[in-house]
Structure formats: C-alpha cells, structure tokens
Amino acid sequence: MKKFIEEFKAFAMRGNVLEMAVGIIIGGAFTSIVNSLVSDVFTPILGIITGGIDFSSLSFGLGTAQIMIGNFINAVISFILVAFSVFVFIKAVNRFTKKKEEEAPAPAPAADIVLLTEIRDLLKEQKEK
C-alpha cells in the first residue's frame, strides 16, 4: 500500500500534471472571456450584417422525427466565431511575446566560453606568426 501511495504521489506531483491542471483552470476562466466576446461583440455584429436572421427555428420533419437543422447551423456559426476569437487572441499574444523577445538583450556568454574564445584567438595569432 505504501508503494502505491508513493507512486500516486510521484504521478500527481509531476510537472506536466501540474501544468495541465493550471492550463485547465486558466482555460475555464478564458472560456468566459471568449463566450462574452462571441455573444456580446461578434454575434450582434453578425446580426446587423445578416439582418437578424435566427436559424434556430429552421427544421424539417423526417418521419416522426423533427430535424432541428437551425440549431446545428447556429452551433457551427458559434464554433467559427469562437475559433476566430481564439485565433485573434493567440496571434496578438504571439506578436507581443515576439516583440518582447526581440527587445531583450542577448545574454552574455559564460565565462568558460569567453576563456575558450580567447585561447582560440591566441592560438590563431601564434599560428599566423
């Protein structure tokens, strides 16, 4: 039993499990931002462009079943808007982090690298003489 608990502890405390947990929590919080962007910004704009068309009532009967194709169309449109929102957000974040990396000064080489470079240069000078 003790070995089982130790194995579980090692599993639960691995870096990638903790990172995944943080990602899920942040993803849950980010979901509300994306949903608000879609429902409060993009959907009204799309409603203006399409003249307020609502597909949810669009359906047809197939035997005794009622196929709600309008709900499916609304879900597809919602998915496209969410995917677009995430794409724009990730693109902005990538642009910001790329600029930040470009602005950061290059780190100084380690002392042993500097020493080896000096030795190399001295050996070249001696060889040329």
Indicate whether 13 pLDDT > 80: no
pLDDT in tens, 21-54: 888 998 888 888 888 888 888 888 888 887 877 7
Give residue 15's pLDDT.
Answer: 67
pLDDT given for residue 104 in this prediction: 66
Given a contact cutoff of 8 angstroms between Cβ atoms, the answer to whether 27 and 38 are in contact is: no
Cα angle for residues 40, 43, 45 (degrees, 5° grid): 100
Tell me the pLDDT tens digit for each residue of 54-110: 777 888 898 899 898 888 888 888 889 888 888 988 898 888 888 766 666 778 888
Alpha-carbon span 100 to 56, nearest angstrom? 45
